[in-house]
A and B are shown apart, each in its own frame.
Chain A
């Protein structure tokens, strides 16, 4: 264990289901981070930890070592002609937007081509989980826009990886869940948009089939699309919701969002505030949010549209001390409607509703990672307060439906999937294994059989 390691009980993941003691090191320079990797004793592997925004256990290593990357937070260069940004891996997407998405006089500006639902994640985490956003059907995943990255390995080498150099290792590292080495730096290709603001439309739809119709209609001309689903609606209202689509508004500027949340949940309540009653009330209210209008059109800054999860800091605390599970799967296009209906029916039947149920179509843009989550099809995301065995039973059922439909689960959000589901969903697993660094493993990698289960954990010590 590196001598500067300290004991921490506060390093959890966003779902807060797993609480464990970790040893933590926080290197504050890339060379120091690379050195930490070479000092990891055999059989006691470590994993990188950024902002702690993964929901499950991909960035946890109970009893073992976490390498905190948040202090690797320096920009290195920005080529404002080409839009090429180089920074260390602990820089957050919020910081990138703040530094580079400064609107020009005509409202245009540079923008990260792909952002997830929160801007409070590190670049390293965005690459390691190959995150996606509402424009995945047009722009693919985050990894599609990584020009190159510097990867430290435990044998002391620092390798520059890209689609041209060390291409296989690059493919393993994008979406590689931090298991191939420690990402020190990355160069990202930003995108020039004619207007940083968004023109958005929200459209209410009455049943699942309407989602598919709206989505087909929006495929041309709307680059950001997703739908909120009322997960408590059943029968012929199953799958009703609100479709959100957006595109950049040429000539209209928008300021970069703040570096931190504007309002936060100060403390965790002793019980989950997300429960049957509040979920029912929320879903009923949200369904009516457009009032009597069937369709609402607005021009807005991108902050609210891209980062709905950032409006309230520490919102995960609302789920109380037991935390919550997140579920996200993607199922292939053929049979997607049937599988989605089956998933929604299972949720409605279980009565364990969720606040934010999101349905979205992925397109045919190929993600570069061997373990990248996005693939053509329909993706469904939702969360459930952790009510113990009942919740686990529901999650297991949803997992079975998704896998049977030829789909897969998103590791960044998962805390429960089996090794078998993982192997079925990610057919390039064997190619990936060859690139793993022996000094790295996580609770996730051990659970799904990627790493030796006897490694790491402090049990028996």
Chain B
């Protein structure tokens, strides 16, 4: 039975989408490195994933805001299983656009945690995958990154910037046989969106999103919209002519 699973690091492991994804990895008997802020939450998740079938679980408490620590973080994620087959970058926050408007500190913090930090971490991970000439780098961005909208453009710009960054990395890593998967979820019912009225046909569960991610990562798809209908919605949103778009409340 014990076909050895993949070596997987999850950055931002205790977010709900990451937890659901980690559980799929556990069922597949993968070896996991859980990177996150709260050591107790990591311990709790590690125990859970072991019972659910993970071959081995290591935890790595870390602060994603601390840019100077990213290099060490990448290195430490590589250590427990002497390399990685998959790195999932899953951290981020949803800033309040109104609070960020006219408040540079709030906006900068949002851009930092949603763009600067993950982009730089991806660069460090990319170098390691490139040297190994194998592996998959998967990153959760957002459908919000597809077009700037008045209601959410700080978050949207960070995620859109990250999408472009990943496109560049994908181009660069193609020769080395390394896949870069850009995961763009729509509305997901999690803590991050708990202040919004969750429910209705556009809302998905973390488990649904994680199952889609798992398929896309195994296939090595470049861009995943999850659930699938967001690809169509965003196609329309991007195609809206400006005169029409400007009159919308989007």
For the complex of A and B, the 6 pairs showing the least CB-CB separation, nearest first, are: A75-B51, A74-B48, A78-B51, A75-B48, A99-B52, A74-B44
**How far is it, in angstroms, between the C-alpha of A102 and the C-alpha of B27 when the chains are bound?**
11
Q: For chains A and B in complex, what number of residue pairs have CB atoms within 8 angstroms? A: 35
Sample 11 A-B pairs with CB under 8 A, ordered by A number.
A29-B41, A29-B44, A75-B47, A75-B50, A76-B47, A76-B48, A85-B51, A102-B53, A105-B1, A259-B207, A260-B207
Query: Which chain A residues border B194 with CB–CB below 8 Å?
Result: 4, 6
Q: Tell me if A454 is interfacial: C-beta within 8 Å of chain B.
A: no
Residue of chain B at shortest CB distance from A75: B51
Query: Which chain A residues border B191 with CB–CB below 8 Å?
Result: 28
**How far is it, in angstroms, between the C-alpha of A105 and the C-alpha of B2 when the chains are bound?**
12
Number of interface residues of B (CB under 8 A): 15
User: Could you tell me if A99 and B41 are in contact, using CB atoms closer than 8 angstroms?
Assistant: no
Q: Tell me if B109 is interfacial: C-beta within 8 Å of chain A.
A: no
Q: Tell me if B45 is interfacial: C-beta within 8 Å of chain A.
A: yes
Q: Tell me if A98 is interfacial: C-beta within 8 Å of chain B.
A: yes
Query: Which chain B residues border A78 with CB–CB below 8 Å?
Result: 51
Q: Write the A67-78 contact mask toward B (1 if CB under 8 angstroms, else 0).
A: 000000111111
B215 to chain A, nearest CB (A): 16
**How far is it, in angstroms, between the C-alpha of A158 and the C-alpha of B250 when the chains are bound?**
48
Query: Which chain B residues border A236 with CB–CB below 8 Å?
Result: none
Q: Tell me if A10 is interfacial: C-beta within 8 Å of chain B.
A: yes
Q: Tell me if B168 is interfacial: C-beta within 8 Å of chain A.
A: no
**How far is it, in angstroms, between the C-alpha of A100 and the C-alpha of B52 when the chains are bound?**
8
B114 to chain A, nearest CB (A): 22
Q: Tell me if B39 is interfacial: C-beta within 8 Å of chain A.
A: no
Known A-B contacts A28-B191, A29-B41, A76-B47; A99 and B199 likewise in contact (beta carbons under 8 Å): no
**How far is it, in angstroms, between the C-alpha of A420 and the C-alpha of B199 when the chains are bound?**
41
**How far is it, in angstroms, between the C-alpha of A305 and the C-alpha of B51 when the chains are bound?**
26
**How far is it, in angstroms, between the C-alpha of A98 and the C-alpha of B207 when the chains are bound?**
15
**How far is it, in angstroms, between the C-alpha of A143 and the C-alpha of B45 when the chains are bound?**
27
Query: Which chain A residues border B45 with CB–CB below 8 Å?
Result: 74
Query: Which chain B residues border A6 with CB–CB below 8 Å?
Result: 194
Known A-B contacts A10-B199, A28-B191; A99 and B44 likewise in contact (beta carbons under 8 Å): no
**How far is it, in angstroms, between the C-alpha of A29 and the C-alpha of B47 when the chains are bound?**
14
Known A-B contacts A10-B199, A98-B27; A76 and B51 likewise in contact (beta carbons under 8 Å): yes
**How far is it, in angstroms, between the C-alpha of A6 and the C-alpha of B199 when the chains are bound?**
13
Residue of chain B at shortest CB distance from A73: B48
Query: Which chain B residues border A85 with CB–CB below 8 Å?
Result: 51
Find A77's partner among B1, B27, B47, B207 (CB 8 Å cutoff).
B47
User: Could you tell me if A75 and B41 are in contact, using CB atoms closer than 8 angstroms?
Assistant: no
**How far is it, in angstroms, between the C-alpha of A78 and the C-alpha of B51 when the chains are bound?**
6
User: Could you tell me if A74 and B47 are in contact, using CB atoms closer than 8 angstroms?
Assistant: yes
Q: Write the A360-376 contact mask toward B (1 if CB under 8 angstroms, else 0).
A: 00000000000000000
Query: Which chain A residues border B207 with CB–CB below 8 Å?
Result: 259-260
Q: Write the B71-109 contact mask toward A (1 if CB under 8 angstroms, else 0).
A: 000000000000000000000000000000000000000
B53 to chain A, nearest CB (A): 7
Query: Which chain A residues border B27 with CB–CB below 8 Å?
Result: 98
**How far is it, in angstroms, between the C-alpha of A75 and the C-alpha of B49 when the chains are bound?**
8
Interface residues of A in 18-41 (CB under 8 A from B): 28-29
Interface residues of A in 94-119 (CB under 8 A from B): 95, 98-100, 102, 105
Interface residues of A in 49-106 (CB under 8 A from B): 73-78, 85, 87, 95, 98-100, 102, 105
